[in-house]
Amino acid sequence: MKLLNLCLLALCLILPATAAELKVDLGHGIVAYRTEALLVRQDVRTISVPADVAYRRAMHYRAIPLLALLKGIDANDHLQFVASDGFTAEIPAALLLNKQGSEAWLAIEDPTQPWPALDKNHGHAGPFYVVWTQPQAAHVSLEQWPYQLAAIRKLDSVAERFPAILPDPSLPASSDVQRGFIVFQHTCFACHTLNGEGDAKFGPDLNIPHNPTEYLRADLPRAYIRNPQSLRQWPQAKMQGFDTQALSDADLDAVLVYLRYMAARKLPH
């Protein structure tokens, strides 16, 4: 009986990896891609990622060009990448189609050669992970490297789906609030909702019931975004800090301006 239990446990540990499936919906029905089929495609290759976002070191992956799974998208489309842990990355198709030299790849974990565990409380990156070569060329942000990927969906833009997070449209596009809104979409919105709107299920709402700029001393939101452990030391914390390479001082200033502005635009919830 003990041997049987051990065998069943081993089987449970193996099955999730071998049964991994990525669902892609570009508006014409869901297409499911399984690990086994992806790893034997003719366009799969080994790529090197010198500064991997999840592992924070050089990594090598078996991967296929992401655009190979996104046939027919154009620069006006918008894609959402959904991770199994509740993280959602909003990536405009224009970034994936960029001509600057950045290329998105779908890294595929081979169940026979599993990837290492991530640091601290971030679990495991597999079974699918969007990685980039030459990300700096097109200014790819940290939040546009979704791992634990479960689904890719073509959707309306963030502004169309979630009007409650929009600043007043009368504000000029060059304003710090509008700039901060753009930064917010690329960073905070992958993990958090605002005014109860958004698809992320990773972190708390940033405006309801209270915006962090309302209850934190003026200098602390900045410190927290740079290094969450500088505010509250908690070994189980999952939020990673944004250094100046990931989020410039100017962009950090702008996103804080946006958050302060939205504190006065709460919606009933």
Each residue's pLDDT tens digit, 131-177: 999 999 999 988 899 999 999 999 998 889 999 999 999 999 999 99
C-beta of residue 78 within 8 angstroms of C-beta of residue 156: yes
Q: Are residues 24 and 139 in the same domain?
A: yes
pLDDT at residue 184 above 60?
yes
pLDDT score, position 57: 93
Residue 9 lies in a domain: no
Q: Which helix (DSSP H) or strand (DSSP E) does residue 149 occupy?
A: strand 149-155
Point out the least confidently predicted range of 84-93, 106-115, 119-128, 214-223: 119-128
Residue 142 lies in a domain: yes
Q: Which residue has the tokens 């034997």?
A: 40
Q: Are residues 77 and 203 in the same domain?
A: no
pTM recorded for the entire structure = 0.79
The token duo for 198 is 């958004």
Confidence of residue 5 (pLDDT cuts 50, 70, 90): very low
Instruction: Compute the 3-state secondary structure of the chain and give helix, strand, coil in percent, each to the nearest 5.
Output: 30, 20, 45
pLDDT at residue 2 above 70?
no
Confidence of residue 19 (pLDDT cuts 50, 70, 90): low
Q: Are residues 171 and 222 in the same domain?
A: yes
pLDDT score, position 236: 62
Q: Are residues 105 and 86 in the same domain?
A: yes
CATH, residue 125: 3.90.420.10
Residue 203 lies in a domain: yes
Residue 125 lies in a domain: yes
Q: Are residues 77 and 129 in the same domain?
A: yes
CATH, residue 215: 2.60.40.420
Count of domains observed in the chain: 2
Q: Are residues 59 and 138 in the same domain?
A: yes
pLDDT score, position 29: 94
Spatial distance between the Cα atoms of 269 and 102, rounded to a whole number of angstroms: 40
Confidence of residue 201 (pLDDT cuts 50, 70, 90): confident
Share of the chain above pLDDT 70, in %: 89
By the 10 Å C-beta count (0-12 exposed, 13-18 middle, 19+ buried), 246 is classed as middle
Q: Identify the domain boundary among 120, 155, 190.
A: 155
Point out the least confidently predicted range of 13-22, 39-48, 91-100, 185-194: 13-22
Q: Are strands 78-83 and 88-92 parallel, antiparallel or unpaired?
A: antiparallel
pLDDT score, position 83: 93
Q: Are residues 203 and 236 in the same domain?
A: yes
Q: Are residues 108 and 182 in the same domain?
A: no
Residue 65 lies in a domain: yes
Residue 244 lies in a domain: yes
Residue 267 lies in a domain: no
Q: Are residues 109 and 123 in the same domain?
A: yes
Q: Which domain holds residue 188?
A: 159-262
Confidence of residue 243 (pLDDT cuts 50, 70, 90): confident
Q: Identify the domain boundary among 119, 136, 155.
A: 155
Residue 14 lies in a domain: no
C-beta of residue 265 within 8 angstroms of C-beta of residue 194: no
Q: Are residues 81 and 198 in the same domain?
A: no
Q: Are residues 24 and 151 in the same domain?
A: yes
Q: Identify the domain boundary among 155, 180, 200.
A: 155
Q: Are residues 145 and 61 in the same domain?
A: yes
pLDDT at residue 260 above 90?
yes
DSSP 47-95: EEETT-TTTSS-EEEEEEEGGGGSTT--TT-EEEEEETTS-EEEEEHHH
pLDDT at residue 54 above 70?
yes
